[in-house]
Amino acid sequence: MLQGSLVAIVTPMKDDGELDFDALTSLIDWHIDAGTAGIVIVGTTGESPTVSVAEHKALIDITVKHVAGRVAVIAGTGANSTQEAIELTRFAQQVGADYSLSVVPYYNKPTQQGMYEHFKAIAEAVTIPIILYNVPGRTVADLANDTVVRLSAIKNIVGLKDATADLYRASDLFDRLPADFACYTGDDGSAAAFMLMGGHGVISVTANVAPQLMADLCRHALAGDVAATRRINNKLLGLHRDLFVEANPIPVKWALAEMGRMGQYIRLPLTPLSEAHHHLIRAALQRAEAI
């Protein structure tokens, strides 16, 4: 089972808005060297809503080729159209991604049965392992625990990214899901507790700027070392909080530019980080010794 710190990696862009593949591959190498266990490409943090289908596929393809088996590649392939999600998931399988990450259909507000049928149709169209992604703060629709348990019976649905930050809900899932079904949190602030309670890792925004600390946090939490987990988490608290002072990935792209890792271009309708927040992110980076 894939465990640990899985970075929800940003999509670097040049000053003219074109994708910056050189910066992306540089970030990937940095993450692998720092102990990141997997690269999640074209998720929410990767600006999946604003890239074209062709760009989406290119990002997956280049990431798989550059990683070259060194760590796992989890390709974001979700969509609110079942057919588009199938197309993207088939492509990820074709180019050799290790997993796909499939978000709850957004905007069209399906029922629980609709979500079950959506994910079932994707799973039946491919053989690649699928990780479900529940983020009701963005999708409005909320994948209920009962539906996750139903979906876990489908052979190639192998995990869940839960971004609700609801630890009671997580503990219910840990109790009811098969032992080989992976549970990842999508909330950095509760990741330490999530793993100490039985979760398997985090799909992380914070890891974008503090990959080694997040990898260490996961390693200690998964080993049950509460003292070490608390010590590292305390260094990261500012990042967990302030990287969401505006909509993700606005703050994290600014932070990476501040660190000299890439440019800070972000596509509309998102806009660059407000100057009033610069000091917050800079202070959080300093506390985590990222700058």
Q: Find the catalytic residue in 161, 168, 184, 235.
A: 161
Q: Find the catalytic residue in 99, 133, 184, 253.
A: 133
**Rounded distance between C-alpha atoms, residue 39 and residue 247, angstroms:** 21
Q: Which residues pair with 195 in a beta bridge?
A: none
Query: What are the tokens at 106?
Result: 């957004």
Interhelix angle 278-287/250-258, rounded to 10 degrees, is 60
Residue partners of 27: CB distance under 8 A and separation at least 6: 9, 10, 12, 208, 256, 261, 262
Question: Is 265 a residue of the active site?
Answer: no
Question: Is 161 a residue of the active site?
Answer: yes
The catalytic residues are: 133, 161
